[in-house]
Structure 1
């Protein structure tokens, strides 16, 4: 239930830190220390465990939603995918949950059938927020999640 904000000038490493938290940095990147998630060191996790933790235990909202969404898949399917992969619901249940999540972030459930290019930048960012919420993770890393959102959102 707590929140932590990291502030700093452009290029100081905020996004790099966010990526390191979920081991999303390139293979050649060196990360030192510990990254504890519920007492378990993310850096020491085997690859299968990291995959199990992503989206279900911890998720991320990237700055650039257009670069994070797959352009050939409908957004509802992209939101539903981690729900099904982590065994949170059947395919039909995940599609229903995707619609609920879209409504939660201020988009009509009917937009689930849209492709990313059919949405505005702010709408795509809200889709990324819905994806981050999809499996109910204990940790959500948000890397400038409001950049593309309008003032009302």
Structure 2
């Protein structure tokens, strides 16, 4: 079944426990290395991937975000305004929303990117890659 939203990896407490080739580096570099490896492996499997983290305790304090700009960002900041300074495609502004059909609280997000179009046209997440439109001009052989 196809999914028209990014697969996002979440950095919870900033400590990666499993052994990794970057384990000799600082915690920040190690976190980045693991995030990048997870995203690239997910992309190699045909999925559109990114990273989900909070403005302060994730992107600012536990990651070197300057090395993650190539990847989709889903920023969690429960406030009336997102103050994250980098580019992001989704902002999660609440964890206490109400949605019909869901018992209890629901996360509330705003998407600033047209991820369904990006994912479908790119052939990610189970969608077939769409062929490029033919270029304008003569397509018949000239006699």
Q: TM-score range by the shorter chain?
A: under 0.3
Q: Give the strand-richer structure, 1 or 2.
A: 2
Q: Which has the larger radius of gyration?
A: 2
Q: Give the helix-richer structure, 1 or 2.
A: 1
User: What TM-score, normalized to structure 1?
Assistant: 0.24
Greater RCO between the two (CA within 8 Å, min separation 6)? 1
